[in-house]
A and B are shown apart, each in its own frame.
Chain A
Amino acid sequence: MYWLGQQLMYVVYAATILNLFAVFAAISDMLLTNYRYSTLSISYVDRRHSISYKLFSLFTLSSILLLALSFALRSLITGKPAFTNQYEFSISLAFCLLLANVFLYLKGYPKLLNASLSLLSLIVLVYSSFLNSLPTPAPPALQNNTMLLLHVTSALVAYSTLLCSALSTLLKYLCKFLWRDQYSLLIDRTESISYNTAGIAFLALGATLLFGSMWASIAWGYYWNWDPKETSTLATWLSIGAYLHTRRDQGKLKSRGDLFILVSLLLAGLTFTGNYFFESLHSYGGLQ
C-alpha cells in the first residue's frame, strides 16, 4: 500500500509540469499583449482575456485537480489526512496557494499577482520533489485525525493567505516604484486585498495556535511548551496583528505597517523550514 502511495508522486510531478506551463502562459500573456495593461488589468473586471491567459486558467485548474486527487488517494491509502510530514504539507500548501489564486481571480485581482502565486506554488512543488515522498505511518502523537485536520488545515489557510497578503504588498510597492501614482486604483486594490487576506491569515493562524494548544493538552497534558515552532508561529501571529492594528492609523504608522506583513512572511518561512535550523516537537516533519 505504501508503495502505491509513493507512486502518487508522479501525479504531483504532472501537476508541477502543468503549473510550470501555467507560469509560462502567464508570462507569455504579459509579453505578447500590452505589457503594462496586461500586468495591471484586473482579471474579473477585464473579461477580454488572451488565449495565453485562458491557457493559464486551464493549466492552473488542471493542476489543482491533480493535487486534490493526489491528496485524496494518499489520505485513503494511509488512513489519515495526508498532512503528517514536510512532503505532504508542501503539496497541500501548493494546492492551497492555487486555490487562493482561483479565489482572487474570481474576486478580481491583478493578473500579475495570479502569475506570482502560480510561480510561488511551483517553487513549493519543486521543493517538495526533493523531499522523501514515501508515505509513513503517523507516530502515536499524530494519531488524532480530528485535531490533525483542524490544526494543519488552519495552518495551510494561514500560510497561503499570508503569502497572498505579502505578495500584494510587494506588488503595491512595485507599482509605486515603476509607475508612481498613475495606477492609484490598482494600489488601492492591492492594499485592500492585502488587508483582507492578512485578516484571514490572522484568524487562521490564531486557530492554528488554539487547536495546536488543545491537541498538546490532550496528548501531553500541557498546552504550551515554548517549542521553537510554537514560538515562531506566535511571533508571526503577533506580527500580523500589529499590521492589522497599524491599518487603523492614518499617519506614518499605516505606511510603516507594511513592514509587519513582510516580517510575518519571513517568520512564516522560518517556521516552515524550521526543522532545518532547530530541534522541535514538530521534527516528525520528515526532515529529522
Chain B
Amino acid sequence: MSSKARQDRAYVNNLKALLSIRLVILEISILILVLVAATLIPQVPLQTRGDPVKALEWLENKTDFQASITAFLSSLSIFTVSSSWWFVILWLSIALSVFAYLITRFPSNVISSSRRRYIHQTYDFGSAEPLFVASRIRAYLSSLGFSITLQVSDNSLAIYATKHWKNTWLLWIAHLGFILLLLGVILNSIYGWQITDIPVPNRERLDIPRTNLSVVSNGLSTSWDPLISSPIDYIARIDLYEGHKKVVSNYPLRVNNPIAYEGISLHLRSFGQAAIMRVYDTSGRLVFDGGIPLTSKDDLGRSYGVVQVGNYDLKVSVPPENTYDPDIPAGTVKVDLYKSGTSHMGTKIVSRTAPQTIDGLRVMLLREDRYVGLSFSYQPFSPAVWLGGGLLLVGSAGMFIRRKGKLVFDLYANNDNCFCDLKADCMPLIDFSRALKSLGGKQLCTGLDNN
C-alpha cells in the first residue's frame, strides 16, 4: 500500500472514530456528570474568579471541607469548573465530533450516496398472499404521506417508499447551529468583556473602562411594595458621554431596559446608599471628594463601603435602614481609618455639621445619597450565538415535524409462507415495525445492513 493510500485510510479511520455515535454518547455522558457536579458543588462566582484572594475568601465561607481538601479540590478546578481547561477540552471534543459529522454528512452527498446504513428486519406473514399484504402496506404508507413505487419480479414484489427525504438538511442545519453557537460563545469569551455591578453615586461621573465612554447618574427613583418590603421597580436617569459629547441624555435605565450604544450595553444591576464625603490631608489638601457606595453589609446589618485615600483605607458605615443603632445616630456615619489595609488608626462618628480628624486626616460628610450599580457588556459575537441557537431549534423542530424516511419492503413467498424484508434508513423503525405487526407479521430478525 502506498504511503498516500495509508494516509487516506488513516484519515478515514480517524473520521470514523470521531463520527462514532458511541464516542459522542461517551463525551456527552462525561459532560453531564461534570455539569451535575458543578450544580451540586458551590462554584466561585464568575465575577470573583479574577481575584484569587476574594475567590479564596468566598470558598472558605461556602465550603465545609477542611482547608487541605479545599486546596486539593481547587487545584482540580472543582470549584471553577466552567473556567477549567479540561471542561473546555470536553466541549471542544464534542464540537469536533459534530464538525466531523458536518463535513462528512453534507446533505447533498448523503442523499446521492449509494452506500448508507440500513436497518434490516424480516417478518413472517404466515399463509397470507404477498399481494394482499402489499396492498395493506401500501395503504398504510399512503396514509402516512409516503411516495410509493412498486416493482414486481417473478417471485417477489418490492415497495419503495420515501418521505421528506431531503429533510436530511434539517438534521445538518441543527448540527451546524450547535457549532455556530459554540463558536459564538468562544469568540465572545476571547473578544468580549463584561464589567459587573460598578457602583456610581448620584451626580458622579464614571469612565467606562476599555472605552472612551462615561456615564453620569442623575438620580434614582424607586417604588416599594409594602407587602413584601422590597423594591418592585427602580429607575436610574443616566447620561452617556462619548469623550465630552453627550450621546444619550437622561435615559430611564431599568433592569429590563438597557442602553445599547455602539455594541456596548449598559445595564442597571443594583442600587443602595452612598455617603458623599470630602477628605483633606494634614496639609489641608483635598485628597478625596466624592461618593462612597455602601455596597457591603456587616454582621450587624450595617451597610458599609471602603475607599482608598493615599495609604489609608477609609471605611464608612451607616446603621441598618429603619433601625435605631445606638453607636451611629441618625444623620451620622461611622468612619474607621486603616493604614496599609490592616492597622486600625481610629474610629469617629461624623455628621454634616461636625467634621472629624483621624490620624491627621480631616473627614467631612456632605450628605447621604444613593448609588446605582451598573454593568457594562461588550459581546460582539452574540448574533452568532442567537443564530446558532435558532438554527439548532429550527433544525430539530423540522426533524421532528417532518421526519424523513426511506423504506424498502421486499415481499416474497417461500414454502407457502409470505415473508417481508424491511430495509429502512437509520431512523427509529418503531412505527413501521408496529404497523407490520398489526398487519399480522411476526418479526423474525433485525440487524444492520451497510449496502
Contacts and interface: CB of A to CB of B under 8 A. Distances in A.
A89 interface: no
B194 A242 contact: no
Interface in B430-451: 430-431, 433-434, 437-438, 446-448
A191 B24 contact: no
Contacts of A228: 38-40, 43
Given A238-B31, A242-B28, A189 B255 contact: no
B267 interface: yes
Contact of B231 (A140, A209, A223, A279): A140
Interface stretch (B122-130, B312-320, B382-390): B382-390
B162 interface: no
Nearest to B181: A210
Interface in A238-262: 238-239, 241-242, 245-251, 253
Contacts of A245: 21, 24-25, 28
B307 interface: no
A8 B448 CA distance: 57
B29 A188 contact: no
Contact of B256 (A191, A213, A219): A219
B393 interface: yes
Interface residues of B, number: 65
A103 interface: no
B39 A220 contact: no
A138 B28 CA distance: 37
A224 B186 CA distance: 12
B212 to A, nearest CB: 19
A102 interface: no
A87 B172 CA distance: 40
A249 B32 contact: no
Contacts of A226: 38, 43, 46, 81-82
Contacts of B377: 221-222
Interface string B160-202: 0000000000000000000000000100000000101000000
Interface in B373-421: 375-377, 379, 382, 385-386, 389-390, 392-393, 396-397, 399-400
B321 interface: no
B35 interface: yes
A75 B188 CA distance: 38
Tier of interface size on chain A: 35 or more
A219 B322 CA distance: 30
A5 to B, nearest CB: 11
Given A219-B256, A250-B448, A140 B375 contact: no
B444 to A, nearest CB: 13
Given A185-B437, A185-B438, A231-B35, A223 B400 contact: no
A253 B22 contact: yes
B39 A225 contact: no
A147 B397 CA distance: 20
Given A138-B232, A203-B396, A231-B35, A248 B430 contact: no
A196 B29 CA distance: 22
Nearest to A225: B46
A270 interface: yes
A136 interface: yes
Given A203-B393, A203-B400, A245-B25, A136 B228 contact: yes
A42 B433 CA distance: 18
Contacts of B24: 245
A209 B228 CA distance: 29
25 contacts: A2-B227, A134-B227, A136-B228, A139-B232, A140-B233, A140-B234, A140-B256, A188-B430, A192-B428, A195-B428, A203-B397, A206-B396, A219-B267, A221-B266, A222-B375, A224-B185, A226-B46, A228-B40, A228-B43, A235-B32, A242-B25, A242-B28, A248-B427, A263-B32, A267-B32
Interface of A: 2, 134, 136-141, 143-144, 147, 184-185, 188-189, 191-192, 195-196, 199-200, 202-203, 206-207, 209-210, 213-214, 217-226, 228, 231-232, 234-235, 238-239, 241-242, 245-251, 253, 263, 267, 270, 274, 277-279
